[in-house]
Amino acid sequence: MKNYLLIVFFLFATNSAAGQALINAKAPDFSLSDQNGLQYSLAAFAGHPVVLLASDKKGEDQNHQWGELVGKKYGDRVKIVGVADVRTVPFFLKGKIKNDFKKDNNTILLDWDGVVFASYGFAQKVSNIALIDKNGIVRYLHSGGAERGAVEGLFRELDRLLK
């Protein structure tokens, strides 16, 4: 049991440290399809601040909360991009998952291979937030719910970027 806890701690710490090393660094680019089959890359959003909201199924509710808060305060001054971690979906359910996401009016990029999650150091089972400025530099990272301090931190950075 002790070894198991050490392994879990090491994986979490490594994942978290990898993500935090991205602060003030060039954001890793990606190319993903959305639920409608349209291809997007981070470069497509250049010139605008981007808030990546990323999670697996277990962090979905947190993503919605983050999206509502950011959308309500900043409207179209910020691009909100949803990324779904769907790498654990069995191949025979991929079509169903795409169709389920089509019910959502927002564009959701489907990360079938976990590329975005690995390159940003995102955690599973929670919402992950990455704020990328208009020049493609990561300015804020957070994994977890929309707790007051986390929201204030994101909004502080967004306010600074939008001056």
Tokens of 44: 């497509």
Domain that holds residue 128: 2-161
Higher-pLDDT residue of 45 and 7 is 45
pLDDT of residue 6: 34
Tally of domains in the chain: 1
Question: Using 50, 70 and 90 to split pLDDT, how confident is the model at 93?
Answer: very high
Work out the burial of residue 136: count CB atoms within 10 Å of its CB; fewer than 13 is exposed, 13-18 middle, 19 or more buried: middle
pLDDT of residue 130: 98
pLDDT tens digits along 142-151: 999 999 999 9
Q: What is the mean pLDDT of the chain?
A: 89
Q: Which CATH number is 41's domain given?
A: 3.40.30.10
Q: Tell me the average pLDDT across 49-71.
A: 97
What is the value of pTM for the model shown? 0.86
Q: Decide: helix, strand or coil at residue 30.
A: coil
